[in-house]
Chain A
Amino acid sequence: MPDQVLFALEVTINGLMAGVLYALVALGFVLIFKASGIFNYAQGVMALFAALTLVGIMEGQVPFEHLINATFGTGIHGFGWQVPAILAIVLTVVVMVIFAWVVNWLVLRHLVGQEPIILFMATIGLAYFLEGLGDMMWGSDIRTLDVGLPQGINTLVDQVTFDAFGYGLFIDNLDISATIIAIVLVAALVAFSQYTKEGRALRAVADDHQAALSVGISLNFIWVLTWSIAGFVALVAGIVWGAKSGVQFSLSLIALKALPVLMLGGFTSIPGAIVGGLIIGVGEKLFEFWVGPLVGGATENWFAYVLALVFLVFRPQGLFGERIIERV
C-alpha cells in the first residue's frame, strides 16, 4: 500500500479516537438535556472540577488549604498521604453526587416550570461558581493526572503494521484506553436507561413531566440522579482529558468542542453524541490532512464549527435529533 494511503488511515484512526473524546463530553450534555430540557453550560466546568477533585484527593491535598491558612494563620500543607486511584475515583463520584444534590436543592428545585432560557442562565451562573469553587478548594496550579492509564505509542500496533506494510501506524495507548472506557460507559448508560426502572422513569420524565408525576415518579429524585450521572460522565471525561493534557482551566473549554458535536448528532440522542463526535474527530483530522496544507494549516480550530453551521442550515435537528414538527 502506498504511504499516502497508510498515512491517511493513521489520521483516520487517530481522528476516530479524538472523536471518542469529544463524544464523552457531549454525552454529559445529552443526558441532562434529555431528562430536563436544560442545556447545561456548566458541563465543561464540571469535568474540570471533577478532575481537580480527583487529583486533590489522590495527592492528599487539604480542601480550601489556602483559605484555611490565610484565615487562621496556619501552615497546613496536605494531609501527607497518597490515596490509590480507585479509591480516589470512588470518593470523587461521591463528591459529584453531593454536588448534584446541592445544585438541585439550591437552584433547580426553585426553577421548576421556568422557561429553558432561564434554566440555561442558571447553569451559566453555576459554571462560574463552580470554577471559583474549584480554584478555592484545590488551587489554580496546572496538575498532572495519572490514574495509571497507559500512555505513549502502542508498540504492538506499530510492530504488526510495520511488518505487514512496511509502515508502522502510530496509535497512542491513551487513545485506545479512552475508546475502551467510552464503549463501557455507553454500554452501561444504555443498559441503565433501557432495563432499569430508574432508567424508564428518566425517559418518562424526559418525555412529559406531568404524566411522570401522575405515575408516581419524583421529579426531584430523577433530577438528582441525572445530574449525578452527568457528574460521573464529567469525571470520566475529566480523567481522560486530564491524563492527555493535564488538569488546568482550559479543560473546561472542551465544552466548546462538544457544541458542534451536539449540533451534528442532535441534543437528545446518545447514539447521536457518539456518531457526531466521531464525524467531527475524523472530519477535522482528514480536513487538516487534505486541505490544511493548501490554506496554511490550523483548520482544526474552526472546521468543527463550520460543519456545525452547515448542519444548522440544512438539518437543524441534527442527524439523530427529534424532528421538529409544528402542527398548524
Chain B
Amino acid sequence: MKDTRAAHVTADGRTIGDVILDLRGIILRFGGVEAIKDISFDIREGEIRAIIGPNGAGKSSMLNVISGFYHPQEGEVWFRGEKRPPMKPYQVARSGVARTFQNIALFDGMSVLDNIMTGRLNDMKAGMLAQAIWKGRAEREEIENRERVERIIDFLEIQHIRKTPVGRLPYGLKKRVELARALAAEPDLLLLDEPMAGMNVEEKEDMSRYILDVNDELGTTIALIEHDMGVVMDISDRVVVMDYGRKIGDGTPDEVRTNQEVIDAYLGVAHD
C-alpha cells in the first residue's frame, strides 16, 4: 500500500516530511536464489520505518541494498528525489546514510571515543600535515568535531566508557556505541540492522527509548530491521513485512497487525 499523504504532523507532534528514499521494483539474486523478489516501498523524512519478517526473509539483504553493500540486478533506488547510480558502500555513507550491523562491526582496538570519531571522518577537511602537527584549522576542526561527538555520548549516556577500548565492552553497550558512531555522521537516513538482537527485555526497552529519542529530538529518519514484532509495533510509524523475499504487508502497525498474510507468516498457516 502506497502512502500518498503529503507532509503531516503526527499525533505526538513529530513532522513527517516527503519521501527521502524510494525503492522501486528491487530484485536481488545470489546465483539462482532470489533473495529479494520485486520489492517497492518508500521511507519518509522524519519517520521510523520498520522492516520485519521471519528469519531468512531478506530483511538484511534489503538493508544492504540501501547501504550499497549489495547491488540489485533490477530495480531503482531513489534518494532525495534523484535516481541513485550504483554506489560503493563508502560513497553511500558519504551521501548521508549511516548504518549499524546485526553482528556489530566496531573497531575493537580503538577506544569508544575514537570509534565514534570515525563517524565524523567525512566532515574533516584540514590537510594531512596540518592535522599531524595539529595547528590552526585542524585544531578548530578537531575541537568542533569532538564537541559534536561529546553531545552524542551524553545523549546515549555512555560517558563513563569514553576511553575504554571497545573490545572490552559487554554486548549491550557495544550496540549503543555502534549507534553512537552512526549518529556521529549526522545522517539523513539511519539504518539499524536488528538493534535489539540478543538483548534482554530491559536492554530492549532502553534501546527502544534511545531510538525514539534520536528520532524525536534529532529528527533523524530511521529504518530498522527487527524480527521481534512486539517491540517494532510500539515504536515505528510504518512497517514493511517481508517473507521469503516478498513483501506481504506494508502500512501502520495496526494495519499490519490485522493483515491475514502477515499473521500466517508469523504464526504459520494450516495446510489442508
Q: Which of A's residues lie within 8 Å of B, judged by CB?
A: 188, 191-192, 195-201, 203-204, 206-208, 210-219, 322
Q: Please give me the residue from chain A that is nearest to B126 by CB atom.
A: A197
A-B CB proximity, top 7 nearest = A216-B93, A211-B105, A207-B107, A213-B89, A196-B131, A216-B94, A197-B124
Contact B121 A203 (CB under 8 A): no
Contact of B131 among A188, A195, A211 (CB under 8 A): A195
Distance of A207 Cα from B108 Cα, bound (Å):
7
Q: How far is the CB of A219 from chain B (nearest CB, A)?
A: 7
Other CB < 8 Å A-B pairs besides A195-B132, A200-B118, A208-B108, 16 of them? A192-B128, A192-B132, A197-B131, A201-B118, A201-B121, A203-B110, A203-B114, A208-B106, A212-B118, A213-B69, A214-B89, A214-B93, A214-B98, A215-B98, A216-B91, A322-B109
A-B contact pairs, 27 of them (CB 8 A): A188-B132, A191-B133, A195-B131, A195-B132, A196-B128, A198-B128, A199-B132, A203-B110, A208-B107, A210-B101, A210-B105, A211-B107, A212-B90, A212-B107, A213-B89, A214-B67, A214-B89, A214-B98, A214-B101, A215-B93, A215-B118, A215-B119, A216-B90, A216-B94, A217-B90, A217-B121, A219-B90
Distance of A289 Cα from B243 Cα, bound (Å):
75
Q: How far is the CB of A326 from chain B (nearest CB, A)?
A: 15
Distance of A214 Cα from B114 Cα, bound (Å):
15
**Most chain B beta carbons < 10 A, residue from A197, A201, A218:** A197
Distance of A158 Cα from B24 Cα, bound (Å):
80
**Most chain B beta carbons < 10 A, residue from A191, A214, A217:** A214
Chain B residues with CB under 8 A of A208: 105-108
Distance of A208 Cα from B110 Cα, bound (Å):
11
Distance of A213 Cα from B118 Cα, bound (Å):
11
Q: How far is the CB of A232 from chain B (nearest CB, A)?
A: 13
Interface residues of B in 117-138 (CB under 8 A from A): 117-119, 121-122, 124, 128, 131-134
Distance of A103 Cα from B9 Cα, bound (Å):
55
Distance of A207 Cα from B104 Cα, bound (Å):
13
Q: Please give me the residue from chain A that is nearest to B131 by CB atom.
A: A196
Distance of A206 Cα from B107 Cα, bound (Å):
8
Distance of A216 Cα from B131 Cα, bound (Å):
19
Chain B residues with CB under 8 A of A204: 107, 110, 118, 121
Chain A residues with CB under 8 A of B124: 197
Distance of A163 Cα from B101 Cα, bound (Å):
68
Q: Which of B's residues lie within 8 Å of A, judged by CB?
A: 67, 69, 88-91, 93-94, 98-101, 105-110, 114, 117-119, 121-122, 124, 128, 131-134, 181-182, 185
Distance of A179 Cα from B66 Cα, bound (Å):
51
Contact A211 B185 (CB under 8 A): no
Q: How far is the CB of B207 from chain A (nearest CB, A)?
A: 19
Distance of A182 Cα from B118 Cα, bound (Å):
29
Distance of A5 Cα from B94 Cα, bound (Å):
62
Chain B residues with CB under 8 A of A188: 132
Chain B residues with CB under 8 A of A214: 67, 89, 93, 98-101, 105, 182
Q: Please give me the residue from chain A that is nearest to B117 by CB atom.
A: A200
Distance of A124 Cα from B235 Cα, bound (Å):
55
Given A207-B110, A208-B107, check contact A215 B121 (CB 8 Å).
yes
Chain B residues with CB under 8 A of A206: 109
Chain B residues with CB under 8 A of A217: 90, 118, 121
Given A188-B132, A191-B132, A191-B133, check contact A216 B185 (CB 8 Å).
yes
Contact B132 A213 (CB under 8 A): no
Distance of A210 Cα from B181 Cα, bound (Å):
14
Q: Please give me the residue from chain B that is nearest to A322 by CB atom.
A: B109
Given A191-B133, A208-B107, A214-B93, check contact A200 B114 (CB 8 Å).
yes
Q: How far is the CB of B45 from chain A (nearest CB, A)?
A: 21
Q: Please give me the residue from chain A that is nearest to B103 by CB atom.
A: A210
Distance of A188 Cα from B90 Cα, bound (Å):
28
Chain A residues with CB under 8 A of B99: 214
Distance of A114 Cα from B150 Cα, bound (Å):
38
Q: How far is the CB of B165 from chain A (nearest CB, A)?
A: 11
Q: How far is the CB of B170 from chain A (nearest CB, A)?
A: 14
Distance of A196 Cα from B127 Cα, bound (Å):
9
Chain B residues with CB under 8 A of A200: 114, 117-118, 121
**Most chain A beta carbons < 10 A, residue from B91, B93, B114:** B93
Contact B109 A203 (CB under 8 A): yes
